[in-house]
Chain A
């Protein structure tokens, strides 16, 4: 097991390095002069030159990369030119919000997907099953920002039950905080449940064919117990894996949702930096998110191997 983890870590490091390189390269795509753009209407030749010297923009590109990488490894992701706040503190400020959103979204996705999957598996082939499966397929064509608009229209505009935007810290007002997360989390959950439902459904259909389910029925156990204890547990492996993989995908989805619902998360930080043309923050946040993405996928990979020993010993 340790050898497996070691091997994967060895694979991880070049990927992380490549991510930093890619981030840096993207940042260097900016046409025109970075210092000039940053100074905006305050730009004078002298100021531009001074800023360029300060930021080391005159150095060859590989040197700049290495300087930047060195800073990053020491925890210095840069500092916003506008606000003066370091990227790291800005990100850490907003991390709890993004995490709360992703956790709620995944939880809601499971809450919707699992019962529906069980229903479809039990009534496999019936009208209900086909309807829900079709619904899941249709949902693939409905992106999250559309779902967001629909939900806002329904719950905020028409019914007025939930706020369309706005966020309150949990410490200040727990109920208000949770209320402000419901629509965003639901939006993301709507993107999750079709995948979760499909995966669990097909696993459960296979499980329900097994002899031990017939045995459980022959023992005279209640249907609820058979489904939830005997059938659900063996079917959960793929579900757990998919849930883990989804966390990586949620990061992208959270971006849009935070922006729409004005939640002060990392996604909104990123998008805000783009709107404000704050390129230093942008570079730092992109690196942070990309690195987090890689690490999360790595951890999920590890967990998957823990759950399924076949993976540990070679490609399954």
Chain B
């Protein structure tokens, strides 16, 4: 077979090559984008853009023009401002929900890994139960019963992210509790709280941060999926997900109504993934890991 000859290292000796780090340019670009979109979201009210809810029934689905830099949607609303306000919603949920997971899950995981015994078994068991429930179904069900709002959405996704954070915190803590500096602190008579806060937390922080960024990416996607179905952020608040959902009807005549928010979401999620993954590679060097 001519095309697929095995050229790989089929013999015994394969000299170690220094691993090339991920292209730094990508990392920087990701950070720049996050900064830009974050800034735009924060300053949305002061930016010289139109209101995201003003409808212009005469100018529906307009292509980009001087008045509307990115055109208008199916109700005549300015796309650019909706995209920026959408960033606000998506980033708010995207950043706050994982914070819930980080704080609660991180604390639980650290304490469980540190104390061990009954508490750890209990925590792991409870986390397993939460994981046993299909997450999307959970989110849908809770928002269906509780009602759709940004707050509810943030809380639900936050709670859903607790198990993952617990796992990461616990795993990292377990690898640290036997290290000398912890044992040393203990023999010096430090209290548990002190050890947790002064010794363990600084070391657990970086892996948790890396995971946090990845969780942000996932949260934006989950919120987007729910809003896409109309079951996430309630209208008329613009969310990238709901914009994509609304744009779906106009795919044949105005595809950019769906693709613009999709593009924004994709780039933002990608950016968080890149940054989170780079940080994770720094804190957890495993050769050959993607």
Q: What is the interface of chain A, defined by CB distance below 8 A to chain B?
A: 15, 18-19, 22-23, 26-31, 118-119, 121-124, 133, 136-138, 140-146, 149-150, 152-153, 157, 198, 202, 205, 208-209, 211, 213-214, 217, 222-224, 226-227, 248, 251-252, 255-256, 259-260, 270-271, 274-275, 277, 279, 282, 286, 289-290, 293-294, 297
Contact = CB atoms under 8 A, between A and B. Distances in A.
Nearest to A34: B145
Interface in B106-162: 128-129, 132-138, 140-142, 144-147
Contacts of A289: 134, 137
Contact of A133 (B141, B144, B244, B290): B290
Interface stretch (B43-51, B57-65, B251-259): B251-259
A126 to B, nearest CB: 9
Contacts of A286: 137, 141
Contacts of B258: 149, 153
A22 B5 contact: no
B144 A209 contact: no
Interface of B: 1, 4-12, 14, 128-129, 132-138, 140-142, 144-147, 217, 221, 224-225, 228-231, 241, 244, 248, 251-252, 255, 258-259, 262, 265-266, 269-270, 273, 277, 288, 290
A173 B241 CA distance: 35
**When A and B form their complex, which 5 residue pairs have the shortest distance between CB atoms, in order from nearest?**
A141-B270, A252-B136, A141-B269, A29-B145, A18-B129
Given A137-B290, A141-B269, A122 B10 contact: no
Contact of B134 (A138, A217, A222, A251): A251
Given A214-B12, A286-B137, 19 more contacts: A26-B138, A26-B142, A27-B141, A27-B145, A118-B4, A119-B4, A145-B225, A146-B265, A149-B244, A149-B258, A157-B255, A205-B8, A208-B8, A209-B10, A255-B137, A256-B229, A282-B144, A289-B137, A290-B134
A149 B135 CA distance: 23
B133 A274 contact: no
A4 B217 CA distance: 38
Given A145-B224, A255-B136, A279-B145, A138 B229 contact: no
Contact of A15 (B9, B129, B136, B252): B129
Contacts of B225: 143-145, 256
A255 B136 CA distance: 8
A141 B137 contact: no
Given A222-B1, A279-B145, A217 B6 contact: yes
Most chain B CB within 10 A, of A149, A153, A213, A293, is at: A149
Contact of A142 (B129, B132, B266): B266
A290 B224 contact: no
A290 B133 contact: yes
A140 B220 CA distance: 12
B146 A122 contact: no
Contacts of B12: 211, 214
Given A137-B290, A290-B134, A270 B140 contact: yes
Given A26-B141, A145-B225, A286-B137, A121 B290 contact: no
Contacts of A256: 136, 225, 228-229
Contact of B244 (A145, A208, A224, A293): A145
Contacts of B265: 146
A124 B140 CA distance: 42
Nearest to A143: B221
A142 B225 CA distance: 11
Contacts of A140: 273
6 contacts: A26-B141, A141-B266, A150-B262, A157-B255, A289-B137, A290-B134
Contacts of A29: 142, 145-146
Contacts of A227: 4, 6
